[in-house]
């Protein structure tokens, strides 16, 4: 008669092990190439669409962009913005990751958590003119549910914005509260206050100086 208790205990251990086994993948974009636009040839270092088609993406995975300060990473769920290579006029469906550096060509790594299921689009547009994007610096992925978001990425949305009384100074927004994925990786921070139509993100993870590749 003691067997059921032992069996249940074993089942519980097995269930816990299964839950802990949820694994997430870091995808190095373009691997083994990098997220890089060659200014001599006006072309991308890799066919990123071909690369993306070799990967399976799940919620909680990261895209790791090994890149330089000459490129940016624009992430959007807005297919129109992606097709037109422009992050202008988008709402909170777009995030821009850039280095916050004025120095050309510094090697940096940008880690982007995948927190939105379904179609996600990525492109580079440092000049805000669509130039790099139109010449191959773009790709689309489909993010599956997989194991779902890990708790560390599963942040609640920010509270709704309430305008302050006219007599008070405008609020300053720093750090958390700007959307999914904030304050989690430690690799990047949001800069700029208020609720801009586009979230601009500065990447603090400058790994080295010098030329890419
Ligand atoms: C994936 O990248 C994130 C962000 O840089 C990092 O926190 C995490 O440790 C990485 N995971 C693995 C398995 O390398
Ligand atoms: C990308 O950067 C990461 C972290 O610096 C490094 O471990 C990895 O080898 C790099 N991959 C490529 C293809 O350069
Ligand atoms: C850019 O392309 C040219 C011509 O193919 C090549 O010689 C050069 O090494 C490339 N630059 C980088 C940084 O990859
Ligand atoms: C790259 O594009 C720039 C800007 O349009 C142009 O001036 C330059 O001649 C192009 N270079 C090549 C190799 O096509
Ligand atoms: C998507 O982007 C287009 C411009 O590229 C813009 O007109 C449209 O309002 C955007 N949609 C949303 C939901 O932001
Ligand atoms: C970065 O851009 C600058 C200005 O266009 C260019 O002179 C430099 O060669 C680029 N560096 C790399 C690594 O692409
Ligand atoms: C990437 O390759 C696909 C075919 O596999 C092609 O249709 C597409 O135009 C290529 N993209 C670029 C930017 O060269």
Residue 154 CB: number of other CB atoms within 10 A?
14
Interatomic CA distance for residues 149 and 82, integer angstroms: 25
Q: d(Cα 133, Cα 48) in Å, to the nearest integer? A: 11
Cα–Cα distance between 78 and 93 in angstroms, integer?
A: 6
Torsions phi, psi for 166 (to 5 deg): -60, -25
Q: Cβ of 22: how many Cβ atoms within 10 Å?
A: 12
The verdict on whether omega for the bond into residue 37 sits within 30 degrees of 0, i.e. cis, is no
Nearest residue to 155 via CA among 64, 65, 60? 60
In this structure, the residue with its CA closest to atom 8 of ligand 1 is 26
Verify whether ligand 4 is closer than 6 Å to residue 42 (CB atom). Answer: yes
Pairwise CA distance, residues 55 & 67, whole Å: 19
Q: Report the C-alpha gap between 208 and 108 in whole angstroms.
A: 7
Residue 101 CA to residue 43 CA, distance in Å, equals: 23
Helix (H, G, I), strand (E, B) or coil at 89: coil
Whole-model pTM: value is 0.76
Question: What pLDDT score was predicted for residue 89?
Answer: 74
Per-residue confidence (pLDDT) for residue 15, from 0 to 100: 44
Contact 166/158 with Cβ under 8 angstroms?
no
In this prediction, residue 173 has a pLDDT band, given cuts at 50, 70 and 90, of very low
Ligand 3: distance of its center to the CA of 159 in Å?
Answer: 47
Q: What would the pLDDT profile of 99-112 be if each residue is shown by its tens digit? A: 777 888 899 999 99
Average pLDDT over residues 137-164: 80
In this predicted structure, what is the pLDDT of residue 185?
29
pLDDT digits 0-9 by tens, 56-89: 999 999 999 999 999 999 999 999 999 999 988 7
Tell me, what's the pLDDT at 152? Answer: 87
* 18: helix, strand or coil: helix
As for ligand 2, residues whose beta carbon falls within 6 Å of it are: 28, 31-32, 34, 64, 66, 109, 207
> What does the pLDDT look like over 129-145, one tens digit per residue?
999 999 999 999 999 99
**Protein fold of 23-155+173-199:** Immunoglobulin-like (2.60.40)
* 98, 72 Cβ separation under 8 angstroms: yes
d(CA 132, CA 51): 18
The pLDDT value given to residue 158: 54
């Amino acid at each position: 008669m003691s067997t059921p208790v032992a069996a249940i205990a074993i089942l519980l251990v097995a269930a816990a092990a299964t839950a802990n086994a949820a694994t997430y993948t870091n995808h190095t974009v373009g691997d083994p190439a990098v997220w890089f636009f060659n200014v001599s040839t006006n072309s991308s270092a890799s066919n990123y669409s071909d690369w993306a088609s070799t990967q399976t993406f799940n919620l909680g995975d990261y895209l790791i962009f090994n890149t330089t300060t000459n490129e940016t990473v624009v992430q959007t769920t807005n297919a129109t913005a992606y097709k037109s290579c422009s992050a202008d006029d988008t709402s909170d469906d777009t995030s821009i990751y850039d280095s916050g550096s004025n120095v050309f060509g510094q090697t940096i790594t940008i880690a982007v958590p995948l927190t939105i299921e379904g179609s996600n689009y990525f492109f580079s547009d440092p000049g805000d003119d669509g130039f790099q994007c139109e010449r191959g610096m773009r790709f689309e992925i489909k993010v599956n549910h997989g194991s779902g978001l890990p708790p560390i990425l599963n942040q609640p949305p920010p509270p709704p914005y309430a305008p302050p009384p006219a007599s008070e100074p405008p609020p300053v927004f720093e750090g958390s509260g700007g959307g999914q994925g904030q304050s989690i990786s430690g690799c990047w921070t949001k800069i700029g206050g208020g609720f801009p139509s586009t979230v601009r993100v500065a990447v603090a993870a400058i790994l080295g100086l010098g030329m890419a590749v």
